Amino acid sequence: MSGKHILLAEDDPHIRLSLSIILRKAGYEVTTAEDGQDALEKITGLNNTHNSADLLLTDIQMPGISGLELIDELEKMDILIPVFAITGYGDKQTVVDLMRRGCADYIDKPFEPQSLLERLPLIFKKTEKVRMEKEKQTVQLAHEKAELDRQVSSYMHNFEKLREQVDSAVGAYQNLTHIQEKSYKVSVAYRHQPLSDLGGDFMDIRNTPTGCDILMADVAGHDMGASYHTVLLKAFFDENCRTGNDGRSFFSLLNNQLLENGKNERMVTAIFLRLNLEMMQGEVVSAGHPPLIRFLKEIPIPDRVMAIGDVLGIHENVSFQAKNFPLSPGDQFFLYTDGLTSAYRSDVHTRKKEKLGTDGLEELIKKHCRLSLDNMIVNIEKAITETHDYKFNDDMLILGVEIP
């Protein structure tokens, strides 16, 4: 390891001189410092040159700035340098403090010079390994970002083409939220009651070579910004159906685009349901959205498919969980936005507000399960809006899906 540059901080002049001679004879370049303050100034100065120190070899007990304080100051200044500490014999607490600060190694006084020289190469070898791993991670992250940028560019191309065709936000929202119930490989039925002309809730279904992909989302707000995000959702979903990315990849790309190109910060919850009718397998991925409700033909009791995931459009670092499950003919699935389960009514006795909640929705599904899917969704809507006279303070959207 000859050629490495060591900054030696030692207040005892005799020890400093003898150690510097030993290190230089071993092939190291040595810069000496009389105390912690001197070491701090010299390390800072060397960092501004092409000959920065590769290691700090420091005594801990020094006047002025101690060795521990020197390490802390370097961390505050964001100066990364491995530390080899010289400690007093049996000073266990100091050793603990050094380890907490990430010290590379330590040696107790008194020590043999040969013991010091034998341990130095191990520190440099470990430091070099860490450096190479960081460089490798940096290169990998650069490749991943390039691939992400490439995919986003593809999605954005489709988005720009779609946006050119949108004459107004209101017209776009009304067109984008309408689906043809009879044109899919699965049976679908839905009801949508927007709170205003601009929204809000969004859903779309696309046939795939093996089945269907379904997206439901809830954009915060009912304004021009919300409609802009609705257009973005549709554009990315259309492109995703072409590329065939799974729900987690789709949500990661969408989140990145919402953060980089959204007109304003806007929280979006969403749920992605993929139905593979050839393999008879389903997969659901959620981005902070209310859970999917499943109603099996063989077990007519509603249950929730919980998939944990972060909301979109707020944070860079997001993660999503995928839940897989088998499909059988006659199985039904219900997707909805929280505007539905947040519908409320006043108790006739207490006058307190009672929310429908997911429990209430499941009871309605169970009550009307013997009806066809179309009639089932119609009766659920009537039960909420007419029979029980619930009130809404958000868009209401529910979609039923049945496996053929």
Contacts of 187 (CB under 8 A, 6+ apart): 373, 401, 402, 404
Q: Looking at the structure, tell me whether residues 346 and 255 fall in a common domain.
A: yes
The reply to whether 365 and 302 lie within a common domain is yes
- Look up residue 253 and give its two tokens: 């790309």
Do 100 and 193 lie in one domain? The reply is no
Q: How far apart are CA 362 and CA 229, in angstroms?
A: 30
Radius of gyration of the chain (CA): 32
- Is 393 part of any domain? yes
- For position 336, what pLDDT does the model report? 95
Whether residue 338 sits in one domain with residue 190 = yes
Q: What are the backbone angles phi and psi of residue 53, rounded to the nearest 5°?
A: -75, 140
Contacts of 148 (CB under 8 A, 6+ apart): 253, 256
Say if 160 falls within a structural domain.
no
CATH number (domain holding residue 64): 3.40.50.2300
Cis peptide bond N-terminal to 82, omega within 30: no
**Beta-sheet strand order (sheet of 322-326):** 201-208, 211-219, 268-276, 281-287, 322-326
Q: Are residues 254 and 353 in the same domain?
A: yes
Token representation of residue 68? 């521990």
Q: Domain for residue 142, yes or no?
A: no
pLDDT at residue 192, as a whole number: 86
18 and 100 assigned to the same domain: yes
Residue 174 lies in a domain: yes
Residue 174 and residue 120 share a domain: no
Instruction: Looking at the structure, tell me whether residues 118 and 174 fall in a common domain.
Output: no
> Cβ–Cβ contacts within 10 Å for residue 71, how many?
23
Residue 158 lies in a domain: no
Whether residue 341 contacts residue 360, with contact meaning beta carbons closer than 8 Å, is answered with yes
Can you read off the two tokens belonging to residue 103?
């010290």
Q: In this structure, are strands 353-355 and 344-346 parallel, antiparallel, or unpaired?
A: antiparallel
CA distance 242 to 301: 35
Are 130 and 188 found together in one domain? no
- Can you read off the two tokens belonging to residue 44? 């800072």
Q: Does a cis peptide bond (omega within 30 degrees of 0) precede residue 200? A: yes
- Of 134, 152, 179, the last residue of a domain is 134
Neighbours of 164 (CB within 10 A): 8
Does residue 279 fall inside a structural domain? yes
What is the domain count for the chain? 2
Q: Please tell me whether the overall predicted TM-score, pTM, comes out greater than 0.75 for this model.
A: no
Q: Are residues 219 and 300 in the same domain?
A: yes
Tokens 């207490």, residue located: 350
* 97 plus 172 within the same structural domain: no
Domain of residue 82, residue span: 5-134
Query: Which ranges of the chain have pLDDT less than 70?
Result: 1-2, 89-90, 161-178, 181, 196-199, 222-227, 261-265, 348
CATH of the domain at 204: 3.60.40.10
386 in a structural domain: yes
pLDDT of residue 17: 93
In a domain, 249, yes or no: yes
Do 346 and 247 reside in the same domain of the chain?
Answer: yes
